[in-house]
Structure 1
């Protein structure tokens, strides 16, 4: 059994991103895995770094305390075997609330300048997009997304990492994407190498 911590970033209660997220959780449940969830918008997670947080991070002052909401997120990550991130692609990146989550949660002494740094078995990054993956590949957006999410934000904090871009809006494509998300939930530890 695998414990997955899911970070979900979408403001609407009804969306295709929510459908993908729910399909993944159904797969987890069916296979006997468990999950914790940080629904950032529902939680009202503060995305903006405070001056105090900025001063801590710019000085790499790992000995200074972090905010309680940040500590709570870090504890969820530490307890998990797998991290999963679900969000819609907006302007070739994640929503601002998720970017702010990384800004605030990837602190000195936790995600960098730590001995040892936080590390997980696998990270799954799953985003929905209006454009199909082939178009995003041709435009260079997909390569940029991989670099940003897998190389920079996840980096060596995960033994393996995968970016699933579920793009396109045709009904038959959407059904395929829901099946992909469900299957990812059945095997959250993954079997494919990343990057």
Structure 2
């Protein structure tokens, strides 16, 4: 038995029945409208799921699937980013100064008393590097921490990756896990907890 659908009233309807938009095929218009009056169409996705999408969303290419395409793209991005022990290698390699950092150097902030504070992030944590009288000294501390923590981590990652690519079983048995410790003079550096290279 063929489903009967009520005629659509209001904004003039464009017949999209049977038309394909990305992974979606428009089946029939519903009685629902968005705030602009655009008709919601009942659609079937190539993955088998059903979705209701506005006419505008279909025509202008804003909706190309039931949501599965977005999930797949997010998964691809996640797979492309090499996360080791909670840290993304690519982000460390391509790090740039934040646009909202008023001091002009990432990780260095001017305090109300005129001094400068420096810190660095690693494994989802922030490490305090100190408070300094001048901007230049704070930047020096930050750069040293980048070399001792970020650059050392990236270097060790590629050493480990080369061996893990050649011997995946070794890579599984010896995951690269780093921790940050504070050494003499209050400066931080990273050490490998396990999975020695």
Instruction: Give the alignment's TM-score, normalised by structure 1.
Output: 0.28
Q: Highest relative contact order (Cα 8 Å, sep 6+), 1 or 2?
A: 1
Structure with greater proportional helix content: 1
* Greater strand proportion: 2
Which structure has the larger Rg?
A: 2
TM-score, normalised relative to structure 2: 0.28
